[in-house]
Structure 1
């Protein structure tokens, strides 16, 4: 197995990126992705684990080999038709969101403008306009907000969320992304 780490976002030529994308415009994926080629398989494993050989639980999924080199595909360019999800990965994302969503600075900032009730956590790959609800496949889940504070442990996953859509690989806020990378590396 050969692991290739693809540097994206701030790591790639110092590019700045707005959180989210719009149709027809490509922004580099903001997080580091490790790709592990397996000559005996017709797919490349995709992971946030920066080790040479990520454990099975740390693999997000597999990018099928097509006429496009999977090593040249950035997280924003991944498409559902070329991706197979690792079914054991999404529960890890849920655990991280349940444990740490109340600590995330971006989510806390959103909650400060939200009095009480359930607040959606939108996927950064395709954030909805302010005051709007995102597409079901782009809503990670919801947290309970009470008096402008996220209630610890209140995260409820959205089972319609997809790790890869036509807008690319999922994107958590920076704080939660780091918690997920740490969690996956510890498995």
Structure 2
């Protein structure tokens, strides 16, 4: 026979699991939670990186009248965008992905580095840029990266549309850039992060996609703000 205390614990555990199941996430992106926007009459949804309910609209990613969100249906939250940039500015140089890009840049003389950490020889880079002439050309054409022992810049970009071999991300996918010294270390210790000013939370390729490291840091910051 189960004791009353044991049954109570089981019921409480079941209740917590049931509540957790009711918090739905965006299809294809389990880290973004979807809530009905009860204050709106257009059937819109609030998107957030926090599963907390009721949702704090100041911490939400934004609002969308469609799921998945599109460029026409989504309205971003400027305050969230500010928090996002705050976190990337503070922690991007600590991201293992960024550190890897910086080391590859420094160790490969005479090569160009894309935002995804892919190397491309200068010869091929010139050929690709001459053929396309678009805004997503080779990194050196953008002033994005230097050659070995000279340093330069690497781009911190969204993962929703990884750039092709030898290319940098589209401006709307770039959070900002970090300066790298010739020895592969970040200039000033933190890379002197510069925001791109062109990043968009939702594009035709999808919604916000952060590296696991930066996503964790952003969620931590949002939780701090949630407690205030």
Query: TM-score, length-normalised on structure 2?
Result: 0.63
1:93 corresponds to 2:84: yes
1:182 corresponds to 2:181: no
In 1: Cα distance, 2:223 partner to 2:33 partner: 12
Which of these residues, 153, 156, 174, is aligned with residue 194 of structure 2? 156
In 1: Cα distance, 2:160 partner to 2:26 partner: 17
Compute the displacement of 1:80 (Å): 0.7
Structure 1 stretches of at least 4 aligned residues deviating more than 3 Å after TM superposition? none
Give per-residue Cα distances to partners, 1:165-187, cap 9 Å, x unaligned: 00111211110011001111211
Give the equivalent residue in structure 2 for 1:120: 155
Between structures 1 and 2, the one with greater helix share: 2
In 1: Cα distance, 2:168 partner to 2:57 partner: 34
Give the equivalent residue in structure 1 for 2:57: 56
Secondary structure of the equivalent of 2:177? strand
Give the equivalent residue in structure 2 for 1:24: none
Give the equivalent residue in structure 1 for 2:34: 35
1:138 corresponds to 2:129: no
Give the equivalent residue in structure 2 for 1:46: 47
Give the equivalent residue in structure 1 for 2:97: 106
RMSD after superposition: 1.8
Compute the displacement of 1:153 (Å): 5.6
Task: Assess if the C-alpha contact under 8 Å between 1:98 and 1:153 holds in 2.
Answer: no
Query: TM-score, length-normalised on structure 1?
Result: 0.76
Give the equivalent residue in structure 1 for 2:208: 170
Task: Assess if the C-alpha contact under 8 Å between 2:103 and 2:184 holds in 1.
Answer: yes
In 2: Cα distance, 1:99 partner to 1:127 partner: 23
In 2: Cα distance, 1:186 partner to 1:54 partner: 15
Which runs of no fewer than 5 residues in structure 1 stay unpaired? 9-27
**Larger radius of gyration between Structure 1 and Structure 2:** 2
Compute the displacement of 1:126 (Å): 0.7
Size of the alignment, in residue pairs? 155
Give per-residue Cα distances to partners, 1:125-151, cap 9 Å, x unaligned: 011123311111111110111221234
Secondary structure of the equivalent of 1:134? coil
Compute the displacement of 1:113 (Å): 0.8
1:5 corresponds to 2:40: no
In 2: Cα distance, 1:57 partner to 1:100 partner: 22
